[in-house]
Chains A and B, each alone.
Chain A
């Protein structure tokens, strides 16, 4: 088990953002965190990044309590944020170099990792381009490359396909699936777009801060009469929105 979230509650003042959230991610698994806007996906990610303090419950990463362990534990986590978090004034290479530095990687390690990721994402020819001049698809690739530089075991993607066209979205998803296979990465992909979930994925449905389902997409689909994931999802979400 790589990540274990147990009975986590989180409140913003009087508003409950997460209620008794429990989930577990196995090493090398691909998990789609499915939920409408405002479901609590970003709040959950902020807890997994230690941006917010843990108010109640427990989060274990690689067997260690995430919030009481030393900050070293964050080197296990790679993150792609919902909004692009690249430095627009810097080049692709400079953005990646900066990330390596703040991860404490030596110059030699950095150069090696950057070379690998640039090749993997077909960005080698663009490495001296300013991020400001890249299109959305390229920027997402750079963000993904950046998140992988320090070789994390858990990759968190918070609605990474927002603002991308269909082709770029499909390509990005394919990249991440490939990465998971090649690197045995554990991936938690937050989305509200059902098309991004494939039959073999594990799905965690989050709505109004509660986990409504945590199972294989195919089994989840079987819950509805039509055996369609969209219907099962609508039924679940409908229940909480009623």
Chain B
């Protein structure tokens, strides 16, 4: 197979994911409404309860809205990752996944394109949120909109990989509600998305450690720093290998010849 075929396949998969996203307009609106509700309603209610001390990367006192904005950006990526996981379960049930896996390119590459396309589709959603958030007073330096991009992409790949692993474990679409309760909500709430970890530590030492071990915490912190054009080496050191491991695991788990997905196919036969 010619080398250019790899690029063609990637663009094909990205185009398909984008088209599906465009056709499912409600998905776009719900992806935006959710974080905006948190920003407008939740933050308004809690801003006086959760005073935010000066903590890096901020150099002065900030409003609670400013604090949770990076967490909400990560939330968009997280929900998009779970949405693409749901799509993959649907694709598997509808047979579209089989069509992809019949491509003459290596299956590892095909699944990688699926993960990357899922992460890329989430980016316009995050930037749309940032545009609206600008009018609501969340106004980072303009250069922050550029420096945050790699962090968003890395987080997108992390959650899309997690989504692919979950999709390989889930036998039926009906079981997907459990993912929300057992994966998405704990991942989001047990992170620094809504409150700084020192606050968590004041309430519970063990919960603080759970939050610290949660990769999503480091994704939020990476986004927070990079949105203010600052580099968070600690977050990168943790996040990059975790993302790589999850991606490899996702590729392994969804290859029907080897992974968990194959076991599901066989049990259906």
User: Residues of A at under 8 Å CB distance from B?
Assistant: 12, 17, 42-43, 46, 49-53, 70-75, 77, 79, 81, 83-90, 94, 97-106, 146
Q: Which residues of B contact A77 (CB under 8 A)?
A: 102
| A72 and B102 within 8 A (CB) | no
Residues of B near any A CB (own CB < 8 A): 1-2, 4-6, 8-9, 11-13, 15-16, 19-20, 23-24, 94-96, 98-107, 110, 256-258, 262, 265-267, 269
A51 in complex: contacting residue of B4, B94, B256, B267, CB < 8 Å: B256
What would be 28 A-B contacts, judged by CB atoms less than 8 Å apart?
A12-B267, A46-B265, A51-B262, A52-B256, A52-B265, A72-B1, A74-B104, A75-B104, A77-B102, A81-B95, A83-B94, A83-B95, A85-B96, A85-B98, A90-B23, A97-B15, A98-B12, A99-B99, A101-B12, A101-B16, A102-B9, A102-B110, A103-B104, A104-B2, A104-B4, A104-B5, A104-B9, A105-B8
Q: Which residues of B contact A46 (CB under 8 A)?
A: 265, 269
Q: Which 7 A-B pairs have the closest CB atoms?
A: A101-B12, A104-B5, A85-B95, A75-B104, A102-B103, A74-B104, A89-B23
List B contacts of A75 (CB < 8 A). Answer: 1, 104
Given pairs A71-B106, A101-B8, A102-B103, 9 additional interface contacts (CB within 8 A)? A51-B257, A71-B1, A75-B104, A77-B102, A83-B94, A89-B19, A98-B15, A104-B9, A104-B103
CB of B103, distance to nearest CB on chain A (Å): 4
Nearest to A42 among chain B residues (CB) is B269
A102 touches B13 (CB 8 A): yes
Q: Are B269 and A71 in contact (CB under 8 A)?
A: no
Chain B contacts for A87, CB-based, 8 A? 16, 20, 94, 96
Tell me the smallest distance from the CB of A115 to a CB of chain B, in Å.
18
Distance, CA A83 to CA B96, complexed state (A): 10
* A104 with B104, Cβ < 8 A, contacts A85-B98, A90-B19, A99-B99 known: yes
C-alpha spacing A71/B111, complex, angstroms? 14
Nearest opposing residue in chain B for A91, CB measure: B19
Within the complex, what minimum Cβ distance (angstroms) separates B20 from chain A?
Answer: 6
Q: How far is the CA of A106 from the CA of B6 in the complex (A)?
A: 11
Contacts of A51 in B (CB 8 A): 98, 101, 256-257, 262, 265
Chain A residue nearest to B269 in the complex (CB) = A43
Minimal Cβ-Cβ distance residue in B for A12: B266
Q: Which of B16, B103, B106 meets A103, CB within 8 Å?
A: B103
Nearest chain-A residue to B103 (Cβ)?
Answer: A102
Most chain A C-beta atoms within 10 Å of own C-beta, residue among B8, B110, B265: B8
**Chain A residues within an 8 Å CB radius of B269:** 12, 17, 42-43, 46
A105 and B104 alpha carbons, distance in the complex (Å): 11
Return chain B residues, CB-CB under 8 Å to A85: 94-96, 98-99
Q: How far is the CA of A42 from the CA of B258 in the complex (A)?
A: 19
Contact B95 A102 (CB under 8 A): no
Q: Which residues of A contact B102 (CB under 8 A)?
A: 49, 74, 77, 79, 102
With contact pairs A53-B257, A72-B104, A73-B104 given, residues A101 and B98 touching in the complex (Cβ less than 8 Å): no
Cα distance A193–B6 in the bound complex, in angstroms: 41
Partner of A101, one of B2, B9, B104: B9
Q: How far is the CA of A81 from the CA of B99 in the complex (A)?
A: 9
Would A71 and B23 count as touching, CB distance under 8 A?
A: no
